Amino acid sequence: MLGWALTFLVVALIAAVLGFTSIAGAAMGIAKIMFFVFLVLFAVSLVMHLVRGRRV
């Protein structure tokens, strides 16, 4: 997920440099959403790991 967010960030930066502002804005929005989804999933995973402990 983080890889996709970084990919969209690079696409947004390249589009902005080339002057495609609408594409850059859309790609930046997608990158932001994916980054926050990544953060939420990472936090949930971390909490679940701490709650479960090492019960094997």
| All structural domains of the chain with their residue ranges | 2-52
CB contact at 8 A, 13 and 31: no
Alpha helices by DSSP H, listed for 1-56, are: 2-18, 21-52
Q: Read off the amino acid at residue 34.
A: M
Q: Is the dihedral of CA 9, 11, 14, 18 positive or negative?
A: negative
pLDDT at 56 over 60: no
pTM: predicted TM-score of the whole model, two decimal places:
0.74
Provide the pLDDT for residue 55: 65
**pLDDT score for 2:** 81
Task: Give tens-digit pLDDT for 3-52.
Answer: 888 888 899 999 999 999 898 999 999 999 999 999 999 999 999 999 98
